[in-house]
A and B are shown apart, each in its own frame.
Chain A
Amino acid sequence: MRKIVRRSRSTFSPLELRGSMLPGYWSSLSILRSACSISVEARILIPLLAEPEHCATSNSNRLRRRTSVWPSRWRFERLKIATMAGVAQHSQCCQWSVEQILSEAESEPRTVDVYAAKIEPKLANFIIRELNVKAPLPSLGHVKRIRRCGTQGALELSVILCPVNEAGTSEDAVMPTCVSELVDKHGLQPFIISVSEKPARTREEWEVQCQLWPTSFHPNAGKAELEELDQAAVHSMCTFMQMAVQVAHLARGYGQPGNGAIIVDPGLGAVVAWGYDGTGSCCSSVNFGSHSSATVPIKGSGRDPEEHQNSPVMASIETMLSSEPILERGSNTLFKVLKSPECFETHGNNSETDKHTGSKKFTGRQFLGHGLHPLRHAVMAAIEMAAARDRRLFPTDRISKCRPDETEFEDIPVSSKKHRSVEVIGDEHRARLASSTENMTKTDPFEISRPYLCTGFDIYITREPCAMCAMAMVHQRFRRVVYGVPNTLDGALGSRYRLHGKPTLNHHYTVFKVSISEETLL
């Protein structure tokens, strides 16, 4: 361990690590982002590096910031445990592969016809300039205007003149006058050729396209949605999916449908919330009369169910975690992580909950007896927990104070993304100011960056979500959705619908599928 640390210290100075956790520095430290969220080794070393003695070079002010914004030491321990759990499970999950589910179904590559002509290489510059002015091709921005088609030695160039007007019948009528003038002037001999209609989304598509006519391909440019993942990213994805699988196993242990979800802050590389299916209805054996003792986790745990009525989700989680047989069952390390305060204290503050439950509406949040609710799919449960965490970490009333006590926020794991906004809440009404993190660098680092819902977070689900859950994730603003087993009947992210391809939605996430099998969830 020490060895790793020493080697890495030359790469990551303590200052950088400290900075990486401060909202404003985030964007400039992408290398650290990848270190935090992806690399297993890096995540182990960060806690060690961030110990105060390694920050001796920081001035006192920086140190203050560090201690207040960085998680305290015990949280590093948990991060470490989380990582270890991932490593321990790696043997299984490294068998998995990851595939991106694009927002449009694979379709036959479509082409459009255009006029092209061979030109003298000497005239190329002139003609291209003329054409770009007189006959631009706005709909074919991905197509290269000029093609080199030389056969051994002799350089031959062809240019695209203009699209073939499909409505036109005779060839003379379809070419715009400006183009035909150019054709006449240089004695060009137009011919018709097909080019691909849409930009390539994958490298494979691009290679096919280029056989027709060269096009350009930008894997990570705005419009091309395909994200190229490196090995570390794939590994990280599989590791988190493994955790979701363990949550599914846990649910299964309670006679619930085997489906689990975890919400990950990629900045911290840590699980911030999780949930499992609590519908109880997909198991055909579930019948109130006969199963009550089998599926009631509360029983035997020595806890009074009434005590937790105000936050039944959390109650069921707590009961579940305190249930010894279950802890012995799966990976202990994971549940130590899950049990840890960061995930867990979301409900610890009862007054917060009480405030809401005082109103009649919030009693509606209670679930049916035995933790069941017909709509409590894994995703919904996880979102509920993330929302509870959000309410606890960023209580509405306190954020109006411009600088909270350091101690007060000592335990808050705050990560920030470039596009995550800051919200400052007024005393009486939901106010007003928001800021990009660029501004954060210039302003108060204690201005807590409250994420808007789950902006920038990733969610891992063991099964393809239904339309309800898929839309819930749109509403909650997830960055990325990673699911496991496809759901041919009701899956909304590739199987039955492709919700993330609906252009009218106000938010779009990217979707990945990890190739886990049904058996994995049993």
Chain B
Amino acid sequence: MDGTLSSDVVTFMHLAVEEAKKALARLEVPVGCVIVENGKVIGSGSNRVNETRNATRHAEMEAVDMILAPWTPSECPEAGSIKEQLTKKFGECELYVTCEPCIMCAAALAILGIKKVYYGCGNDRFGGCGSILPLDTDGCGGCGNSSSGEDDGDSAKRRGFECVGGILADEGIALLRGFYEQGNPNAPRPHRPVRAQDSSLAD
């Protein structure tokens, strides 16, 4: 499969793998991601779930926020609303991630209107690009819609993104496997005894 891809794609995926290694060094689940606009990396990130105690801080979210932090919407009236400007911005971005985006990230990327996603290994437990739910084709319109659905024609705004999987999949898997073999130190382990208590308490 790699043979049919441009060398750029593989290069960017290598950068994502490098990001994933950073997560591994911090004892996080090793998934890394870069976002590319017009051949230039404008955002990168890796998992920070354990550090932040926030399980939504996946690599994709980190990279997206890295782009959004310095971004300021144009105040010029012709530029349109903030949402239109954002959609335009992300409509020119491609995202490279070492593992298939989960359902949450895939929905988030659909909400942002990202142009294309390249991923490494598939995620048969909660992949959102076809493995469990096809958010790349279904798109996602967000929480705000009411049951009546009359709000400014949201169904028309909902769109998915292009998605290509299997790029450097072996490297993505190898990272994850290495991590899980050593054990996720932050996962709950409900059946382990805790060490002996402090005797000073008993007085």
Contacts and interface: CB of A to CB of B under 8 A. Distances in A.
Contacts of B185: 429-432
B56 A490 contact: no
A307 B27 CA distance: 32
Contact of B126 (A279, A363, A380, A474): A474
Contacts of B193: 435, 439
A444 to B, nearest CB: 4
Secondary structure dominating the interface of B: loop
Interface stretch (A7-15, A74-82, A226-234, A369-377): A369-377
A445 B186 CA distance: 21
A349 B135 CA distance: 39
A401 B62 CA distance: 31
B189 A467 contact: no
Contact of B111 (A61, A361, A374): A374
Secondary structure dominating the interface of A: loop
B151 to A, nearest CB: 6
Given A361-B48, A383-B54, A289 B125 contact: no
A391 B111 CA distance: 29
A477 interface: yes
A287 B84 CA distance: 10
B56 A363 contact: no
Given A288-B81, A289-B77, A434-B190, A463 B155 contact: no
A257 B144 contact: yes
Contacts of A469: 104, 143
A423 B102 CA distance: 26
Contact of A378 (B104, B143, B186): B143
Given A279-B142, A429-B27, A489-B158, A375 B82 contact: no
Q: Which of under 10, 10 to 19, 20 to 34, or 35 or more describes the interface residues of A?
A: 35 or more
Contacts of B71: 368
Contacts of A431: 185
Contacts of B105: 468
B83 A374 contact: yes
A409 interface: no
A426 to B, nearest CB: 9
Interface string B50-89: 1111111000011111101101111111011111001000
A431 B145 CA distance: 43
B99 interface: no
Contacts of B52: 356, 387, 391
B56 A289 contact: no
Nearest to A450: B53
Interface stretch (B1-9, B10-18, B170-178, B194-202): B194-202
Nearest to B187: A452
A282 B144 contact: yes
Choose among A61, A280, A282 the residue with the greatest number of B CB atoms under 10 Å from its CB.
Answer: A282
Interface string B104-117: 11111001100000
A259 B202 CA distance: 49
Interface in A263-304: 277, 279-282, 284, 286-289
A402 interface: yes
A468 B108 contact: yes
A220 interface: no
Contact of A476 (B56, B69, B144): B56
B50 A471 contact: no
A488 B194 contact: no
A445 B201 contact: yes
Interface string A415-449: 00001011110000111111110011011111100
B45 interface: yes
Given A374-B68, A496-B138, 12 more contacts: A277-B144, A288-B74, A289-B77, A377-B144, A387-B54, A434-B192, A443-B195, A453-B54, A463-B145, A488-B145, A505-B132, A518-B148
18 contacts: A286-B82, A364-B68, A367-B68, A368-B82, A369-B72, A377-B143, A383-B54, A391-B52, A433-B192, A435-B194, A443-B196, A455-B188, A463-B144, A467-B104, A467-B106, A467-B135, A505-B126, A505-B132
